Structure 1
Amino acid sequence: MTQEDQQPNQSSNKNSQGRRNFLKGSAAAVGAGLAASVPGVASAADSDCEMKNPYGPRPGGGISLPDYYKPWPAIKNRNVFLPGTEILPKNEMRISFLGSTPWPPTRLQSGTSILVELGNGESQPRRFFFDLGNGSISNAIAMQVPAPLINDIFISHLHSDHYADLPYFYPFRAFSGGYTPLRVYGPSGRTPELGINHMIKHMKEMNRWHEENFNSCPIGDGMNIEVTEFDWKEENGICYDKDGVTVRHWPRSHVKDGASAYRLDWEDAGLSFVWTGDGRPDELSAKYGKGVDVFVSEGTIDVPQLSSMKLGAPAELWEYTIDIFHTMYYASGYLFKQTQPRMAAICHYEYAGPALEAESTAEVRSNWYGLFMFAGPDVQVINVTKDAIWSREALLPDGAAPASMDPRWLLKPGEKLPAEIKLPTPRLPREMQQEQFLRDLEIDPKKYYPPDAYRKPVQKWPGITLNPREMLEARGIKVDDDQ
């Protein structure tokens, strides 16, 4: 091939190289243009970051974390919460998010429920439950909260995702040794039929067959529910005030009258907690949440266009739903900014997956730069003292058994351990609520028991008396004579 024959190729190579350089230059120019026109995308010319830690400079300590975000000796495992391994000290509060979503429930999120525990240095702290959504009881059981000791339940409003586990739970609480009445608190409605009193009354009617059936067992007064219904209109009203703990409430805008927020103040420890319940961002939550230690808001991501693309429903439907029912993340951040909590959290939200975690956080950060976390997936745990705050996720087995029975659960507060405890006598033995012919149709147990395993059925209440000291010693628990 002659030199002349090669020239076109050389010319072609030069032209090709020129085109590549042109395209590279164009791409750089376009990139610079995008950086200049898209908010939040910095170009090389303006790369100096202006964000500051609101708690003061912390080189190597993060841009939103305060000095008080740190563990302390009572935190036995700094990375996960292991139920049953930590005695909650006096003057320490622990908040566990037993459920964190409205809809749909997933394997990561149950219906909304928040457990607030106040430490007393004993194995069973003082407990308060804010809402009891679908599936949350399974997490409470896995957290080794004894079913008989689940009490003082504050319902924010009567959407079923906030109380769905209540009709399921209360008969089994009695069946499991909760022989004292269950205490439930909640708002009235515009009419009596729309308040919590009416709901509880008809819930018990719905469960009548269940209640009578379980009355064949020792249940004491465990099926009784003591309802405290407060005026939904009342601002900063008191619905609980006992032994240094006060719970206040105020109304929220959630389409229908009868939705409430709560604030718990623990006088002895000087600690406080707010749960807004559901509703639109409002002035009362900003007012009565000021200075709280932990402020928990509901929240929803505000991306109706993307939601439409992902789930198919029109964007206008998403906008309408958000704008009459809920608090978007932008507004949650705004409420945090107004109230200035030591820790802010969002519960009652739909986990949007890894792709939208950054967007979700960015919407909150548009107004709030301080300590913050999402309260899911279940179960997230926050420990709080006057000096420090620490958060972890609970490590729960999928098939956790309930906490082992402790005879001290059956005692009144401050009551000394007696020599014996007699279980309540069943009120409706089965012969009082079942036709004889059904019992006659039961197969003789000798036909299905192996001879070496056969035992005579116990079908008449034998009368059961517990020896509490013996039960505790069998578990390696020593009890002083004066206890």
Structure 2
Amino acid sequence: MAEHLQKTYTWDVDGRIGNTDTRGLALEVIEFDYKKVNEIVYQENGVTIRSFPAIHALDGSVSYTLEWNDLKFAFSSDTYPNKWWMEYTKNSDLAIHECFASPKILIDKQKFPAQNALNVSTQVHTSPAQFGKVMAEIKPRMAVGYHFFNDYDTQPVVLQDVRETYGGPLSLATWSGMLPKKTLPQEWLPLMKISGRNPLSMETSQQIKADGLAFQNIFGVVV
């Protein structure tokens, strides 16, 4: 699979030769058993990556944690809320979990039949309200929701649903990507004043000061 995936991008890679360093485009395959829980799948240069099962349609999906330099990052992949995520991602510094479009969005915007919308949003994926409950349980220093079209008409609906179950630090990923940056609050918060905007709620600002460190979200939306 990995071999043919690389062949798919042959044209793109060839077009970059001589212009950019293409070494980072090579894939190194590490096979592991997706059924194993909290299994170390990579450990090198102080970085430890572990996997545990995710629940998404057919078996085989996994979630990951990455630990380095006393920091912990968690990434869910597509998944329904599950016990492994709750157990192995508690108190992560940065937790990225899918936050799929709510049934209402699927019905109103994408014209899903109500039964299908409920199934896809809450059984195959993780709805915004479920995402909020998950984050309230694991209490990350920064929660990130992704896997929905973050647009002017969808974000308020998603945010409202999340805030019904979770009141902690939160970012909603955007299509253009995100760049979390670990900074000291005295370096971060004044930048918001200089720029003339502060997307942080008072509650979130207080949380950041209490934690002593912040995650600067450069391209996402802090809410």
Corresponding residue of 1:346? 145
Structure 1, unmatched stretches of 5+, are: 1-198, 396-483
Question: TM-score normalized by structure 2?
Answer: 0.73
User: Counterparts of 2:55 and 2:33 in 1: how far apart (Å)?
Assistant: 15
Corresponding residue of 2:101? 301
Residues 331 and 202 of structure 1, relative CA distance in 2, 3 Å threshold? same
Q: C-alpha offsets along residues 367-422 of structure 1, whole Å, 9 cap, x if unaligned?
A: 21111110214233322258311424349xxxxxxxxxxxxxxxxxxxxxxxxxxx
Contact 2:149 / 2:175 at 8 angstroms: preserved in 1?
A: no
Residues 227 and 355 of structure 1, relative CA distance in 2, 3 Å threshold? closer
Which aligned pairs between 1:148-297 and structure 2 lie closer than 5 A? Answer: 199-204=1-6, 210=10, 225-266=27-68, 269-297=69-97
Contact 2:142 / 2:215 at 8 angstroms: preserved in 1?
A: no
The two structures, once aligned, show a CA RMSD in angstroms of 2.8
Q: C-alpha offsets along residues 198-234 of structure 1, whole Å, 9 cap, x if unaligned?
A: x113334656xx48x95xx789988864210111101
Contact 1:382 / 1:389 at 8 angstroms: preserved in 2?
A: no
Determine whether 1:314 maps to 2:113: yes
Q: 1:241: how far off?
A: 0.8
Which aligned pairs between 1:346-425 and structure 2 lie closer than 5 A? Answer: 346-351=145-150, 353-384=151-182, 387-394=212-219
Counterpart AA for 1:313: F
User: Counterparts of 1:223 and 1:393 in 2: how far apart (Å)?
Assistant: 25
SS in 1 for 2:57: coil
Higher CA-based Rg: 1
Residues 205 and 320 of structure 1, relative CA distance in 2, 3 Å threshold? same
Counterpart AA for 2:45: D
Structure with more relative contact order (C-alpha pairs < 8 Å, separation 6 or more):
1
Q: C-alpha offsets along residues 35-81 of structure 1, whole Å, 9 cap, x if unaligned?
A: xxxxxxxxxxxxxxxxxxxxxxxxxxxxxxxxxxxxxxxxxxxxxxx
Runs of 4+ with deviation above 4 angstroms: 204-207, 217-224
Contact 2:37 / 2:53 at 8 angstroms: preserved in 1?
A: yes
User: Counterparts of 2:85 and 2:66 in 1: how far apart (Å)?
Assistant: 13
Question: TM-score normalized by structure 1?
Answer: 0.36
Residues 378 and 255 of structure 1, relative CA distance in 2, 3 Å threshold? same
User: Counterparts of 1:334 and 1:292 in 2: how far apart (Å)?
Assistant: 15
1:330 to 97, 114, 129: 129
Structure 2, unmatched stretches of 5+, are: 184-210
SS in 1 for 2:58: coil
SS in 1 for 2:51: strand
Contact 1:383 / 1:390 at 8 angstroms: preserved in 2?
A: yes
Contact 1:301 / 1:360 at 8 angstroms: preserved in 2?
A: yes
SS in 1 for 2:84: helix
Q: 1:272: how far off?
A: 1.1
Residues 330 and 201 of structure 1, relative CA distance in 2, 3 Å threshold? same
Contact 1:278 / 1:326 at 8 angstroms: preserved in 2?
A: yes
Residues 299 and 251 of structure 1, relative CA distance in 2, 3 Å threshold? same
Residues 388 and 256 of structure 1, relative CA distance in 2, 3 Å threshold? same
Counterpart AA for 1:370: G
User: Counterparts of 2:92 and 2:30 in 1: how far apart (Å)?
Assistant: 25
Residues 289 and 281 of structure 1, relative CA distance in 2, 3 Å threshold? same
SS in 2 for 1:311: coil
Bigger helix share: 2
Residues 202 and 357 of structure 1, relative CA distance in 2, 3 Å threshold? closer
Which aligned pairs between 1:430-441 and structure 2 lie closer than 5 A? Answer: none
User: Counterparts of 1:309 and 1:337 in 2: how far apart (Å)?
Assistant: 28
